[in-house]
């Protein structure tokens, strides 16, 4: 059992070290916005290594559309 745990520990440590830049970028994004959404993950980590379900793709497209509209048409703040 100890051998299995030590092997897994070593593999996880190597993975974390190899992905340090991505982990730091995610931490920075979290500190900036306090929330990490799927679009944030894709922006920081890049596209997923496997195909995304169509429903998720549609959700992301709609979210991107709404965010774009919000940037182009900000609501006026009452004085």
- Report the sign of the C-alpha dihedral through residues 9, 46, 53, 58, in that order: positive
pLDDT for 65 equals 87
Residue 14 makes CB contacts below 8 A (sequence gap 6+) with none
pLDDT in tens, 10-50: 999 999 999 999 999 999 999 998 888 888 888 888 888 88
pLDDT for 74 equals 66
Residue 67, pLDDT above cutoff 60: yes
pLDDT for 49 equals 86
Which residue has 């894709």 as its token pair?
Answer: 42
Tokens in use for 25?
């970028």
Q: Residue 42: name the closest of 20, 17, 62, 25 by CA.
A: 25
């Amino acid at each position: 059992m100890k051998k299995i745990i030590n092997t897994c520990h070593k593999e996880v440590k190597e993975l974390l070290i190899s992905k340090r830049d991505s982990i730091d970028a995610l931490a920075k994004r979290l500190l900036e916005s306090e929330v990490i959404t799927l679009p944030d993950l894709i922006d920081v980590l890049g596209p997923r290594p496997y195909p995304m379900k169509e429903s998720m793709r549609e959700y992301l497209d709609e979210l991107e559309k709404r965010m774009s509209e919000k940037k182009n048409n900000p609501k006026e703040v009452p004085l």
